[in-house]
Structure 1
Amino acid sequence: MTGKETKTCFRSYTAWQYQEEVDWMNKMAAEGWALERTNGFVHHFSRCEPGAWIIRLDRPSFKMSSPEGQEYLAMLHDFGAEWVGGVNGWIYLRRRADQGEFELYSDLAGKEHLLLRARSQMLFVLALALVGWLGSLLLAVCSSESFMAVYPVIYLSIPIAVVHGLTRLNRQLKAVRQERQLHE
């Protein structure tokens, strides 16, 4: 293949931006770029017919290497879907558009559970970020070096960013729950 037949994109999304990431990958597919593999940061595409693929992102509650994960992948394969990569529990899937609609969560309860799994992951990251910040604060207090005082300020930006993300994720969760109440 020539350089015009493949494309590599470096993009990073957070858990609360999962729908934006799905929308971007499907836009790439609509423009004739098939997602071939990804680790969540580096996305490899190859030229295809525009609109030939539908891309989905999932966050199962189990590891893909577990028996449940293998069963899930087999079910997806039977449905015509392919696993193309993953990162931190998130998995990237694609299915040919000519096979019909491709929805992983056809109901609001499934979407709610996906958001709850993403929120749990974010809470774990927040806990780690706070431990890192407390460690940097302790180092700054115990150190005689004046430049060390900057570290707690720098490390505080991580928990602040995670709290911002959790706020956005909670808004999405609230919207799904409100929609569920309307339909129940």
Structure 2
Amino acid sequence: MNKNVVYKKRISFAWDFRKEEEWINRCSEEGYQMDKIGLTRRRFRRDAEHRYVYRYDLQDFKVTDRSKFKQYLALYADAGWDYVDSFLWWHCFRKPYEEGVGEELYTDWASRRDFFSRIIRISLMVGWLNLGIFALNLILLLSIGSDLSAWANAFRGTVMALNGGLGLMLLVIARKLKTAVW
């Protein structure tokens, strides 16, 4: 295994993207530069000679839309941002760190509002999806009953509770973000 490559595990949520950025920027300050994003794991390369400011962006298009993605990367490259990696709709960029300079991807109110609108929209989508899965499971449970073992019923109940709880939590968070942004 390469001694200059380190994997760090971390679970982050869309509404806590600033905490994720702060953590990655602290890692950069300590000499670890992120180059790969995953669901629960980030890959860093040891490079104490450089320090970067990392920022996340959320877009509605997938990386598979190559022409739109190339235009998107060119826009940030023109502003001095280097592309790092993407995971689902999240894209990470970095810029060399400068003391006393607060670097942001979005510098105007309209762009920031649009960014938070995308977070709200995805939170609502996933929240309603989870509530739909919860409702479907509940309907199946009530209509056909359960001839499963106690462990299977406990598992089904746990999954249903998680779907319902996650769905409600995401809807509440989306509402709070909406009132905070507007």
CA contact (8 A) 2:5 2:43 kept: yes
| 1:45 partner amino acid | F
Q: Which residue of 2 aligns with 1:171?
A: 176
After TM superposition, the score normalised by the length of structure 1 is 0.80
Q: Which residue of 2 aligns with 1:154?
A: 159
User: Does 2:91 align with 1:91?
Assistant: yes
CA contact (8 A) 2:53 2:94 kept: yes
More deviation in 151-160 or 71-80? 151-160
In structure 1, distance between residues paired with 2:29 and 2:54: 10
Query: How many positions carry a matched residue from both structures?
Result: 176
1:6, distance to aligned residue in structure 2 (A): 2.5
In structure 2, distance between residues paired with 1:105 and 1:157: 35
Identity across the alignment (%): 23
| 2:161 partner amino acid | L
Q: What's the C-alpha RMSD, in Å, of the aligned pairs?
A: 2.6
| 1:123 partner amino acid | L
1:45, distance to aligned residue in structure 2 (A): 0.8
User: Which of the numbers 142, 145, 150 marks the counterpart of 2:148?
Assistant: 145
In structure 2, distance between residues paired with 1:155 and 1:176: 31
| 2:64 partner amino acid | S
Unmatched 5+ residue regions in structure 2?
Answer: none
Q: Secondary structure at the match of 2:131?
A: helix
Distance 1:165 1:25, change over 3 A: farther
| 1:107 partner amino acid | D
Q: Secondary structure at the match of 1:75?
A: helix
1:55, distance to aligned residue in structure 2 (A): 0.3
| 1:119 partner amino acid | I
After TM superposition, the score normalised by the length of structure 2 is 0.81
1:57-76 correspondence runs (5 A): 57-66=56-65, 67-76=67-76
Unmatched 5+ residue regions in structure 1?
Answer: 178-184
Q: Which residue of 1 aligns with 2:12?
A: 13
Q: Which residue of 1 aligns with 2:128?
A: 127
